[in-house]
Amino acid sequence: MSVGTVFIVGAGPGDPGLLTVKALELVRTCDVLVYDNLMADECVALSRAAEKIYVGKGSGRHMMTQEAIGEILVDRARGGKTVVRLKGGDPFVFGRGGEECQTLGRASIPFVVVPGVTAGIAGPAYAGIPVTHRDMSRGVTLVTGHFSRDQEVELPWEALAGLGHTLVFYMAVAALERACSSLIQAGLAGDTPAALVEQATTGSQRTVTGTLSTIASLARERDVKPPALLVCGHVVDLQQELHWLPQLPLAGRSVLFTRAADRDYDAVDRLRALGAKVIDVPVVQLVARGDVGMDLASVEAVAFTSAAAVGFFFDLLARQGRDARALAGHVVAAATHTVASELERHGIAADLDLEVVRSLGLARALKAHGVGGPRRVLLPRSAAAGADLVTDLERAGLEPVTLVLYDTLPADLGWLEVKLAGRSPDAVVFLSGSGVAAVLAAVPALLDLERPPLWACVGRLSAQALESRGIVPDVLPTRPDVDMLVDDLVEKMGSQP
């Protein structure tokens, strides 16, 4: 077996729109994705890798040592896999990318470095702070804030203070007081403008401005948390004039979104578009069944209830040497906007009006469209799908034909506790009872938070699973519909300070 290649890829500071074209192509096509805690979940969701390995670190807690990460990269490459090591920002700017390349080189593993947009430039830019300016700063110096953890390392404070550059400290929160006091002692004026940029380039980005003398106390007052950048220099004064990032209604709010089977939800995109930081948690893995037979000629309609089912359905068509033309002459129904979007990606426009589906339900909407009994309706789905839709179709006089395309297996959520260390989500969304069990087993501390999140459940089954743990859902739509759930959640979150 030939040895695979490891791509050390910079993903940018958080906004997935800052991925380079080359990074996006590699993330989408790699066999193995290895990613860390600073990675935006949107970037991870873009990957169709067969294996995704979380190796993150958060608030002093490590999911995996640096040595273990290197062993994974070497092992998967020796297995002939194309591996993407996805790192926040730029892998060669305080990202330990150089160390990982050394490990690969010693093991004779070929590697490629794909630079990314570094947070020290992009974060201030999103805050309206240009790190260089002809009249204020002819240079910028990037500095690590991790010096405080190594008592044997001391920065050249006098040199930094005398440069006349904009100074940008990465990972600045832990070392903030020491950095500010050291710069002042080295001769930098205490009234030098300073800013902290928290959660740079994400919907939760927040900027706190002050001076070298005041920024540490302001950070305590405003409860600034990592990751955050410290920017020192007169360019900070331009922030009020050049601030361009719109203030979104859910900016600064975080939502833990657990999902049962679908790979993607447009509901997640909606929350992110409103400024929320969404932690996307797939609680199951989807595994295709290989021995599936399908006779489209025997049915009049095909009803899709999940985007995952659409993907597996077209995979099955491809294995049979067919494509979207096989659905010619059939009524194609989509249960949600997410499903309709996935069908469009495969060249199919759903026949049923989605607003009608939303108001009537799928079974009654099919009848309203003219699919009357005893018509046969194919239901491509998971082995774990419930029986409610089957019952509804039978009551409507239709004959449902289930087509089990894939199985759902529990996902490993060991990474989630590290991801949430030191952070409390503002809302938690559950789409299934199994999701409730899986997440609360992985992060039991969610039940004991001083400021509990809003608990949102899509239907009675997930609500009952939550209530069995002594929690009454704050959000429960009148009908089990993800879009309605998000509508109600946004309204609820928007009414809270």
For residues 170 and 190, membership in a common domain is answered with yes
Same domain, 458 and 400: no
Write the CATH number for 38. Answer: 3.40.1010.10
- Please tell me whether residues 148 and 229 are part of one structural domain: yes
- What single-letter amino acid sits at 162? G
Residue 247 lies in a domain: no
Residue 381 domain flag:
yes
* Domain CATH code at residue 272: 3.40.50.10090
Half-sphere exposure of 320 (CA within 13 A, CB side): 18
Residue 363 CA, chain-centre distance (Å), reads 33
Q: Give the DSSP letter string of 358-396.
A: HHH-HHHHHHHTT--TT-EEEEEEETT--SHHHHHHHHT
Helix (H, G, I), strand (E, B) or coil at 109: coil
Residue pointed to by tokens 């928007």:
494
In a domain, 248, yes or no: no
Number of domains the chain contains? 4
- 135 and 220 belong to one structural domain: yes
Q: Kindly give the pairing relationship between strand 228-232 and strand 277-282.
A: unpaired
Give me the residues of the chain with pLDDT under 50, please. Answer: 59, 261
Whole-number pLDDT of residue 30: 95
- Whether 133 and 233 map to the same domain: the answer is yes
Give the amino acid at 202.
Answer: T
Q: How far is CA 61 from CA 277, 421, 423, in A?
A: 21, 8, 13
239-253 per-position pLDDT tens digit: 999 999 877 888 878
Full residue range of the structural domain in which residue 209 is found: 121-242
Q: Other C-beta atoms within 10 Å of 286: how many?
A: 21
Q: Do 279 and 423 sit in the same domain of this protein?
A: yes
Examine residue 290 and state whether it is found in any structural domain, yes or no. yes
- Confirm whether 36 is a catalytic residue: yes
Note whether residue 398 is domain-resident: yes
Cβ atoms of 120 and 168 closer than 8 Å: yes
Q: Are residues 226 and 203 in the same domain?
A: yes
Catalytic residue among 22, 31, 57, 225: 57
Residue 90 placed within a domain:
yes
Spatial neighbors of 373 by CB under 8 A, at least 6 apart, are 396, 397, 398, 399
**Among this protein's residues, is 57 annotated catalytic?**
yes
Radius of gyration of the CA atoms of the chain, in A: 26
What is the model's pLDDT at position 38? 66
> Rounded to an integer, what distance in angstroms lies between the CA atom of residue 330 and that of residue 327?
5
In a domain, 249, yes or no: no
Which H/E stretch holds residue 438? helix 433-442
pLDDT at 265: 66
The pLDDT of residue 460:
82
Catalytic residue among 15, 22, 31, 36: 36
Give domain status of residue 35, yes or no. yes
Q: Looking at 84, 117, 150, which one is the last position of a domain? A: 117
Residues 138 and 234 in one domain: yes
pLDDT for the residue numbered 432: 80
Q: Specify the DSSP element, H or E, that contains 180.
A: helix 176-185
Is pTM beyond 0.85? Reply is no
Q: Enter the tokens of residue 142.
A: 């990037």
pLDDT at 22: 97
70, 96, 117 — which closes off a domain?
117
The residue from 391, 410, 429 where one domain ends is 410
By the 8 A CB rule, do 49 and 32 touch? yes
pLDDT of residue 59: 47
Helix (H, G, I), strand (E, B) or coil at 28: helix
- Give Dmax over CA atoms of the chain in angstroms: 86
Rounded CA-CA distance 356/8 in Å is 48
> At 140, which CATH number?
3.30.950.10
Q: Are residues 196 and 345 in the same domain?
A: no
| pLDDT tens, position by position, 176-202 | 999 999 999 999 999 999 999 998 998
Statement to judge: residues 74 and 52 lie in one domain: yes
Domain identity same for 272 and 384: no
* Same-domain check for residues 457 and 392: no
Residues 169, 145 contacting (CB under 8 angstroms): yes
